[in-house]
Structure 1
Amino acid sequence: MPNRKEYLKQLLSKDQWTATEQEWMVEYLDANDFSELETVAAEYFEADLLTAKHILDKRLSDRMLNNIHQRIGVTDSSFKGIFRLFKHKAAAAAAVLLLAGAAWYMLLHDRVKQKVFATTSERQTVKLPDGSVVHLEKGSSITYPEVFDKKNREVILKGEAFFEINHDAKHPFIISSSLINTTVLGTSFNMEVHEGNAARVVVVSGMVQVNTREGKPHKNGQLVLTANKSAVYNPASQDLLLQDGTEDAIFFAQKMSGKFIYRGDPLSKVATDLQRYYNVPVITDQKSAQCRFYGSFNTVDDLEKALALIAFSLDARVKKDNINKGYIIVGGNCR
């Protein structure tokens, strides 16, 4: 995130905020630390207090004032005189901006955006207003309006999700996040964004455009991905790189189909897929790593059932790894 003070200046100079900017402002106000906001107000409105009044959108002023009145418990008459309590223009300007921020805070929450969280123990599937489907991973969330607007279909993702987007050329589907934004017309792909880690988009079918966040310096700020391609954004170096995503695309395609099928794949790869899908450590010893596995398991099966099938087919053993709270596949007769 750029300097919060500078970012607030950018936001307050705009007539409209994007969904991501609105989400950022809500989080900022929730933190209950308005020090940067006060500084911005003092600087921005140093010349004349009357300028501060323009920060309130005229179309929303009545509703804002009503919300502010209810929030701070003043009547219309007392509100008109509230600025007389301040002897200095800078202090009065800061108060105006803080009240405007409070109004924005309430308005943003009043827009009835539904936030769906995946629980810590289960994945969650969400159907969006346009019929598109989002498969959320554990601990992830998506924010979206009850009805998409006339220009585009915009959602906010935190964490990881697989998207199956209905085609609509007139209304691009935009996924905003803290690191990258992704624009699609109709496709299936996986997107993963975790604070402090690299962000990744893997396309299974169709085409998507990936952009770094506006205002951030970068060497390559935009990529267009087709099937089996991946974009990786490193927040430390701020590089957006194109990579081969074939293996990842196969994983996500099988995951969505509900069945993982192996035709002589190394057991080490099978173990990696199991660990990735169940979020539980699964490793092999040196002997079993190169064993070839022929078989399948359904995504509705629990991990122990899948491991039992592997052990039976390869005459191997499955040991519990108490240190890492996972499993180790050992031994086995490789064919």
Structure 2
Amino acid sequence: MLFKNTKYKRLIIKMIQGEASPEEQRIAEKWIASSPANRKIFENYKGLLLLTGKKQVSYDTDKAWARLQQRIASADHSASPVHPISKRRRQIVKYASVSGIAAMLLLAIGLFTILNQKPEILQFTSTESVSGQFLLPDGSSAILNAHSSVNYPEWFAGHTREISIFGEAFFEISHDAGKPFIVHASGLDIRVVGTSFAVEADPGADFVKVIVNTGKVLVYPSGLDPEKAAVSGRLLEAGEMATYSRESGQIVKGVNDNLNFLSWKTGILIFKETRLSEVFKALESKYRVSFISGNPDLLNQRLTARFEKESLDQVLETLSLIFNAEFEIQESKVLVR
């Protein structure tokens, strides 16, 4: 039996071959248990893979069809050495045998196709608001800020798991030491095994930022091989960040002292004697707007406050009352007077 969902085909094959990560195995087992038909598909592929005795099935379809035709032809000349069989029964036996051969052949051809086809590149995009959590093929998860997108393959082929980010996102990566996860972010590559981190890589921006929440990541300019990346890159641990200049290609490593780097995800903004110039930057990241100030003195004022789930209008109304300032929203810009 052949089925259409290539994602699950790949997962059950990896599980049978012992190459699935714990998260991939969990997803595959859940799918297998969801229906008798799925379990039958799993058993068919398991039987064929065990029959081949190989990690990868290699199948010459032309030779296979030739062998099938030869078996069909030879069936016409077969006879029992002990008991004569009626013509009708002989036909039934012949067709049953041919049917079984054909079914196995179709299964093998389907398996060969799965193992050798290239994955389709998919895109997940958030529009006007923060996306909900969505799962990548290996069980890793991502949450995207507004106006951001991720390109990823239908399944992860080869020895790495690679995706591309355009905009801002937070990732939680499933651990798989044998298959590193690589995020391509506008000229900067982020290599991880299992960790959580935030990426800000807005198209057209001068800088790409990476902030590690848990675990470790290696960041380096795109296109470097692993040996050069290990030398030229920067290893970041939890609580650290890196800023990559697209113009110079330089990577600057530092400590993350921004309490609000995940405010767009959590909905919470915290300010402790923070200059309004920094407050505006945090609001820009959370609400995907840009502030244009015509009042330089206002930028040096300080704010201590906590905002949770408030809209941009509500935050600006609060700031207006505290600092006696005027704010005007024009599309994605906020004018400050």
TM-score range relative to shorter protein: 0.5 to 0.7
Q: Quote the offset at 1:178 in angstroms.
A: 5.0
Quote the residue 1:124 is aligned against: 131
**1:238 and 2:245 matched:** no
2:277 is aligned to 268
Aligned equivalent of 1:133: 141
- Conserved 8 A contact 1:204-1:252: no
Equivalent-residue separation in structure 2 for 1:228 and 1:154 (angstroms): 24
Q: Once the 2 structures are TM-superposed, how far is the Cα of residue 305 of structure 1 from its aligned partner?
A: 0.7
Q: Which runs of 5+ in 2 are unaligned?
A: 1-57, 63-116
Q: For residues 315 and 231 of structure 1, do their structure 2 counterparts lie closer, same or farther at Cα, with a shift above 3 Å needed?
A: closer
Whether the aligned pair in 2 keeps the contact of 1:179 and 1:235 (CA below 8 Å) is yes
Report the Cα distance in structure 2 between the residues aligned to 1:243 and 1:280, rounded to whole angstroms: 26
Q: Could you say which residue in structure 1 is the equivalent of 2:306? A: 296
Deviation at 1:225, TM superposition (A): 1.0
Alignment-mate amino acid for residue 269 of structure 1: E
- Contact 2:161–2:181 (Cα < 8 Å) also in 1: yes
Counterpart of 1:8? none
Q: Offset of 1:222 from its aligned partner? A: 1.6
Deviation (angstroms), 1:304: 0.5
Q: For each residue in 1:85-137, what CA deviation from the matched residue of structure 2 results, as whole angstroms up to 9, or x when unmatched?
A: xxxxxxxxxxxxxxxxxxxxxx65xx344211233x33324322343321223
Q: Does residue 175 in structure 1 map to residue 202 in structure 2?
A: no
Residues of 2 paired with 1:195 and 1:322: CA distance?
21
How far apart, CA to CA, are the structure 1 residues paired with 2:165 and 2:318? 36
- For 1:123, the aligned partner's letter is V
Paired amino acid for 1:288 = L
What's 2:196 paired with? Answer: 188
> Counterpart amino acid of 1:275?
E
Q: TM-score, normalised by structure 2?
A: 0.54
Correspondences of 1:246-325 after superposition (within 5 Å): 246-248=256-258, 250-282=259-291, 285-298=295-308, 300-312=309-321, 314=322, 316-320=324-328, 325=333
Give the match's secondary structure for 2:325.
strand
CA change 1:188–1:289 in 2 (3 A) is same
Letter in 2 for 1:264: E
Structure 2 counterpart of 1:166: 174
Deviation at 1:251, TM superposition (A): 2.3
Give 2:238's aligned residue: 227
Tell me what 2:76 maps to.
none
Aligned mates of 2:267, 2:183 — CA distance in 1: 25
Q: Deviations over 1:20-62 (max 9, x none)?
A: xxxxxxxxxxxxxxxxxxxxxxxxxxxxxxxxxxxxxxx7998
2-structure distance, mates of 1:246, 1:316: 32
Give the structure 1 partner of residue 67 of structure 2. none
How many corresponding residue pairs? 223
What letter matches 1:182 in structure 2? I
Deviation at 1:223, TM superposition (A): 1.5
The Cα shift of 1:175 comes to 1.4
- C-alpha contact 1:203 1:245 (8 A) present in aligned 2: no
The answer to whether residue 218 in structure 2 is matched with residue 209 in structure 1 is yes
Alpha-carbon distance in structure 2 between the residues aligned to 1:237 and 1:181: 15
Instruction: Tell me, in whole angstroms, the C-alpha distance in 2 between the residues paired with 1:61 and 1:197.
Output: 51
For the residue of structure 2 that corresponds to 1:157, the secondary structure is: strand
Give the superposition deviation at 1:254: 3.7
CA contact (8 A) 2:138 2:174 kept: yes
Aligned-residue offset at 1:209: 0.6
Q: CA deviation at 1:151?
A: 4.2
TM-score by structure 1 length? 0.54
Is the alpha carbon distance of 1:215 and 1:273 closer, same or farther for their aligned partners in structure 2, counting shifts above 3 Å?
A: closer
Question: Once superposed, what is the RMSD of the aligned Cα atoms?
Answer: 3.8
